[in-house]
Amino acid sequence: MGCECSKLNPCCWDSQIKESVAEAPDVENEGNSEVDDIPAFREFTLEQLKNATSSFAVENIVSEHGEKAPNVVYKGKLENQRRIAVKRFNRMAWPDARQFLEEARSVGQLRNQRLANLLGCCCEDDERLLVAEFMPNETLAKHLFHWEKQPMKWAMRLRVVLHLAQALEYCTSKGRALYHDLNAYRVLFDEDANPRLSSFGLMKNSRDGKSYSTNLAFTPPEYLRTGRVTPESVIYSFGTLLLDLLSGKHIPPSHALDLIRDRNLQMLTDSCLEGQFSDDDGTELVRLASRCLQYEPRERPNPKSLVTALTPLQKETEVPSYVLMGLPNSSSHTPLSPLGEACSRGDLTAIHEILENLGYKDDEGVANELSFQMWTDQMQETLNSKKKGDVAFKQKDFGMAIQYYSQFIDVGTMVSPTVFARRSLSYLMSENYQEALNDAMQAQVISPVWHVASYLQAAALSAIGTENEAHVALKEGTTLEAKRNGTSGQR
């Protein structure tokens, strides 16, 4: 801070905290603009989501919770290359399928640039799954509490709380004022590093499940009394997020309020923010947090008045979020590897040479559990088909390669992402582009983090004529390859 923390002037808090907060006047709210490039809510089949997540592979888990919120979130990719997040509930979470569908459809009607919007759901047998936009740049908790390169700047922290308030205002205006367990893990960053509120929190973890899974020290007092979440409870949780952003730590509200009453604000503010904000701005944010954390729910502000209070505080409004966050621009060009470059320009001859040199080393670690009976009866024939396919592939006899690789695949006793990759290229050479895409996607189902599969998808999609989707697949291949090689790359 440019000022001494003790200089923050709390003289006006006591009287203002005790007053009920009046309804704020209407303000122009850019966060309320709905988006039209997101597809309408739909129901997915379980098979579609299995394919998208490589059968819910452990490599695709992006978050999971314990006993209090027994569900797991996976990243995935649909056939049209749209990246998704899939929340898989505990099997007994929603026993009433109709109630789950009704609730999901209601949330699925929301469309806003401040939300990680809900795209669909799946309700088959005991499975209950939600599908949302995938946010590739981690959570607020990661950037605020577990940062590696730089602490979050003051201007970005202010942007986060404004966007969050705008998201809550939009949801409230659409009749969805209840948000369950609002915390730093519910705030996500999109490909441009803009903060968004996860749509998953608009539904409970189960029909009768708890709305809060965090430590009781952070739970709204009325929830402890009644077990019910109210719109005012959401504002209380918003107040705890304001404290998180001000302090850079997860401070229990009771302790924070004690620090405020004792004027011990130096203990409350993040030392990493020194020189980045003024006395007045710090005072206003602390005052707003205090109002949100009032014991009596009726004395807390509503989302509209939060937006009104936070809008004038915004700093560096012309600076893109990815710059403030120190993250790569989603549109910036990352240097491509030889395979990525070959797939980008559709150089099938170069792709063939690279796959030949790569061989089968990336098949190591792929599980192939075979019984002794399978080994004796079918293994030799299967291996012969693969060997003949490899000979044809090397000699560029792609028709025969397709035939022999198909024999190997159809027997089904072994799985090999490399065989699917080679057959994919063989289909590309034969101008069977959809078949090539299918094989490249199947290779990724077998090996979810294999960059070669993504690159081949890019080549097939480009051949089909879907350049935007090809660009997405190419970018994903670059990211996976960078991670594999231990270099930096945007997730």
Distance CA 351, CA 337 (A): 12
The size of the chain, in residues, is: 491
- Tell me, yes or no, whether 251 lies in a domain: yes
Indicate whether 173 and 268 sit together in one domain.
Answer: yes
| Residue 189: HSE in the Cβ half-sphere, 13 Å Cα cutoff | 30
Q: Is the pLDDT of residue 436 over 60?
A: yes
- Predicted pLDDT of residue 314: 94
Indicate whether 293 and 150 sit together in one domain.
Answer: yes
User: What mean pLDDT comes out for the span 108-114?
Assistant: 96
Q: pTM score, two decimals?
A: 0.78
Task: Out of 36, 181, 258, 362, pick the active-site residue.
Answer: 181
Here the CATH number for the domain that contains residue 46 is: 3.30.200.20
Q: How many C-beta atoms lie closer than 10 Å to residue 34's C-beta? A: 13
- Predicted pLDDT of residue 262: 72
In the three-class reduction of DSSP (H, G, I as helix; E, B as strand; rest coil), residue 368 is classed as coil
In the three-class reduction of DSSP (H, G, I as helix; E, B as strand; rest coil), residue 187 is classed as strand
The two tokens of residue 355 are 């796959």
Domain count, the chain: 3
Residue 181 among the catalytic residues: yes
Indicate whether 191 and 120 sit together in one domain.
Answer: no
- H or E element that contains 442: helix 433-446
Tell how strand 118-124 and strand 42-43 pair up. Answer: parallel
Given the structure tokens 């923010």, which residue do they identify? 273
Lowest mean pLDDT among 13-22, 71-80, 408-417: 13-22
Mean pLDDT of the chain: 84
Indicate whether 116 and 145 sit together in one domain.
Answer: no
**Nearest residue to 413 via CA among 365, 361, 367, 368:** 368
* Residues paired with 230 in a beta bridge: none
> Is residue 456 within 8 Å of 423, Cβ to Cβ?
no
Indicate whether 105 and 154 sit together in one domain.
Answer: no
Q: Is the pLDDT of residue 26 over 60?
A: no
Q: Is the dihedral of CA 243, 285, 202, 448 positive or negative?
A: negative
> Is residue 89 within 8 Å of 129, Cβ to Cβ?
yes
The two tokens of residue 364 are 């190591």
Beta strands in 164-258 (DSSP E): 187-189, 195-198
Give the domain range for residue 447: 338-363+375-488
Q: Is the pLDDT of residue 305 over 60?
A: yes
**Nearest residue to 32 via CA among 102, 98, 115:** 115
- Predicted pLDDT of residue 209: 56
Indicate whether 384 and 473 sit together in one domain.
Answer: yes
**Nearest residue to 490 via CA among 136, 53, 77, 63:** 136
Indicate whether 441 and 297 sit together in one domain.
Answer: no
Q: How confident is the model at residue 210 (pLDDT cuts 50, 70, 90)?
A: low
Lowest mean pLDDT among 64-73, 224-233, 244-253, 458-467: 64-73
Indicate whether 168 and 83 sit together in one domain.
Answer: no
Determine the residue type at 25.
P
Query: DSSP letter at 139?
Result: B
Tens-place pLDDT, residues 132-184: 999 999 999 999 998 888 899 999 999 999 999 999 999 999 999 999 889 99
